[in-house]
């Protein structure tokens, strides 16, 4: 079985991005800038934001993190976004989710200038993706990272049956729509399963490419997978494990041990889809910089 190594691909990609950033800096004197806003102190979000800022600096981009207290008003957040929309040094704006209850996430998504929406959450970007205008939008980072992995591993996709389990706006919906497009690493027949789907194994057993984005540890078991399928695991679930330092470990939505005996290729957790997400965020930020500077 082929292990699809997202850690390695993300390192390659970050090196490529660094080279581009260095070249543009020499050419124009400018560098791409990413601003991340975090509201409150959710521990998982703090880790994600720290990693985003660190990787951003590693590849030579300007990183700004705006930390706001948990009781921040929606109005204050929207005003801050407005200022960032008008700041020419800011090429990417990302508001870390989840947000506190008093703030409407959709209002925040709508407030971000689509040309700086490196998360790809704005309806204009998602709509362009659905219509196949990938060169004129931002694709949300996790699905984009999966596309990159399929491409770099030369996974055959044309005419294959791709089953996406999960229908979130961040992963399931953009993922399914991407796989439907007539592109090199896509062009699939697509089925989407979700929490109300009756008999999920009936569908997953027919998948040539199975993408699991459910959020439940070990949900996809070997009996649900067609022999030879390519299995992409988007899940990052904490399960208790007294033998580790933190008392927990991370597992995916796929029962790795069981499914690896059936699949032809698979992404591990950790080290599969996860590391690709930040790399694609920086790729989107570079793309925003290129578009605004006509590069
Ligand atoms: N929370 C978890 N994943 C993400 C992401 O990709 N973007 C944002 N903005 N928030 C998140």
Cα–Cα distance, 160 to 53 (Å, whole number): 37
What pLDDT does residue 150 have?
A: 98
Q: Which residue has the tokens 């989840």?
A: 98
Distance 94 CA to ligand 1 centre (A): 8
At 266-278, the pLDDT tens digits run: 999 999 999 999 9
CA proximity to 282, closest of 31, 23, 1 = 31
Cα–Cα distance, 286 to 291 (Å, whole number): 9
Q: What is the b/e burial string over 219-249, where b = at least 16 CB atoms within 10 angstroms of the residue's CB?
A: bbeeebbbeebbbbbbbbbeeeeeeeeeeee
Under 8 Å between Cβ of 25 and 31: yes
Q: Is 57 a catalytic residue?
A: no
Cα–Cα distance, 164 to 61 (Å, whole number): 34
Under 8 Å between Cβ of 231 and 165: no
Cα–Cα distance, 144 to 111 (Å, whole number): 23
Distance 97 CA to ligand 1 centre (A): 5
Angle between helices 141-152 and 172-180 (to 10 degrees): 40
Cα–Cα distance, 287 to 295 (Å, whole number): 9
The residue from 96, 173, 208, 287 that is catalytic is 96
What pLDDT does residue 184 have?
A: 85
At 95-138, the pLDDT tens digits run: 999 999 999 999 999 999 999 999 999 999 999 999 999 999 99
- Domains of the chain in start order, with CATH, are 29-116 (3.40.50.10860), 140-274 (3.40.50.720)
The conformation of residue 116, written as its DSSP 8-state character, comes to G
Query: In the chain, which residues have pLDDT < 70?
Result: none
Centroid of chain to Cα 273: 8
Nearest atom in ligand 1 to the alpha carbon of residue 94 is 9
Nearest atom in ligand 1 to the alpha carbon of residue 119 is 7
């Amino acid at each position: 079985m082929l292990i699809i190594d997202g850690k390695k691909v993300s390192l390659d990609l970050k090196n490529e991005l660094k080279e581009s950033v260095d070249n543009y800096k020499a050419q124009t004197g400018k560098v791409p800038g990413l601003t991340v806003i975090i509201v409150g102190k959710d521990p998982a979000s703090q880790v994600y934001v720290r990693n985003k800022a660190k990787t951003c600096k590693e590849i030579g981009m300007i990183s700004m993190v705006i930390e706001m207290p948990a009781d921040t008003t929606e109005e204050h957040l929207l005003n801050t976004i407005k200022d960032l929309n008008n700041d020419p040094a800011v090429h990417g704006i990302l508001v870390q989710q989840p947000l506190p209850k008093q703030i409407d996430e959709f209002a925040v998504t709508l407030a971000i200038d689509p040309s700086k929406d490196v998360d790809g959450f704005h309806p204009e970007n998602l709509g362009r993706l659905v219509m196949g205008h990938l060169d004129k939008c931002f694709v949300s980072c996790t699905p984009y990272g999966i596309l990159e992995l399929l491409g770099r591993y030369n996974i055959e996709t044309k005419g294959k049956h791709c089953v996406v389990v999960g229908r979130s706006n961040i992963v399931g919906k953009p993922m399914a729509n991407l796989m439907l497009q007539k592109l090199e690493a896509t062009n699939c027949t697509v089925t989407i399963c979700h929490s109300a789907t009756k008999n999920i194994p009936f569908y997953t057993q027919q998948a040539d490419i199975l993408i699991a984005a459910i959020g439940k540890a070990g949900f996809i078991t070997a009996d649900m997978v067609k022999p030879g399928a390519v299995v992409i695991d988007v899940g990052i679930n904490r399960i208790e494990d007294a033998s580790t330092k933190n008392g927990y470990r991370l597992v995916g939505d796929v029962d790795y041990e069981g499914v690896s005996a059936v699949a032809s290729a698979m992404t591990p957790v950790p080290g599969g889809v996860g590391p690709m997400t930040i790399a694609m965020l920086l790729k989107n930020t570079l793309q925003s910089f290129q578009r605004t500077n006509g590069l």
